[in-house]
Amino acid sequence: MSTIKKVIEVLASSDKSFEDALQRALTEASTTVKGIKSIYIKDQSCRVQDNKIVEYRITAKITFEVMHRWQPSTQGQAADEEVDGGGVPDYSGVRIKTEPDLPQAEGPGGSATAPESGGGYSN
């Protein structure tokens, strides 16, 4: 079975080097993105002050595999244990509106700047 990949674009900076900015981007992204496969530097630039480079900046594209099964935090579970939610989200706590909103009578004024609507300039 082939895998599906997703790409996100991130920005990062460092006062040391482009490599450090790149590593910071990867380290930060890996806290929420799993299965990172590659990182591509799209753009790099520097911020200069008094004729010295004070900040190295990168724009990078990070590629990762799309996970096919939801895996919540493994708190209290073995790290290798796979959780199968059956692919069906649980909407039991969602309130669904079954009746349409009825039209409401217009309030005073018809303009956001009219004093009777609470708008306009006060003296």
Q: Is residue 111 part of a domain?
A: no
Does the residue 23 lie in any domain? yes
Asked if the structure places residue 121 within a domain, the reply is no
pLDDT higher than 90, residue 21:
yes
In this predicted model, what pLDDT tens digit does every residue of 38-97 receive, in sequence order? Answer: 999 999 999 999 999 999 999 999 999 887 665 555 444 444 444 455 556 666 666 666
The confidence score (pLDDT) of residue 35 equals 86
Give a yes or no: residue 115 inside a domain. no
- Output the pTM of the full model: 0.52
Which carries the bigger pLDDT value, residue 41 or residue 107? 41
Residue whose pair of structure tokens reads 């217009």 in the numeric block: 106
Domain holding 30, by residue range, is 5-65
* Residues in Cβ contact with 28 at an 8 Å cutoff, skipping those fewer than 6 apart: 10, 12
What CATH number has the domain bearing residue 54? 3.30.1660.10
According to DSSP, residue 116 is labeled G
Tally of domains within the chain: 1
Which residues, in sequence order, are bridge partners of residue 56? 14, 46
